[in-house]
Amino acid sequence: MFGFNKTSAPAFQNLTPAQFAEGLRQPGAVLVDVRRPDEFAAGHLPGAVNIEVTAPDFGQRVAALDKTKPTYVYCRSGARSANAAGQLTTAGFAQVSNLLGGVMDWPGQLTTK
């Protein structure tokens, strides 16, 4: 009746590849690939850091990131990164964005460097 039991919308944004690419142009933006290391090694977005969302030390590793900087997360299809984005917002990250469709929908080149 008063809306106390309503589920709030996620505190992170789901972005299309074009919106995600635009956001990455912000000064200080942090790009996190939450896939397994072998997936990351096969090809990732340039400038990404690999922090696997299913690894036991995920929370500890993301805690080392600057929570005030815009943080962009992605995975293969968008499911694991949505999970990671939720964890980041719960951990106090101010601005978190998730890539809808993951690298499968990414129009740009991936790198192995």
Active site residues: 75
Q: What angle do CA 57, 99, 37 make, to 5 degrees?
A: 35
Q: What 3-state DSSP class applies to 14? A: strand
Hey, which bits of 1-113 come out as E strands?
A: 13-15, 30-33, 49-50, 71-74, 96-99
Question: 87: part of which helix (H) or strand (E)?
Answer: helix 79-90
Residue 22 CA, distance from chain mean position: 15
Q: Which of 66, 74, 72 is nearest to 92 (CA)?
A: 66
Residue with tokens 């939450």: 34
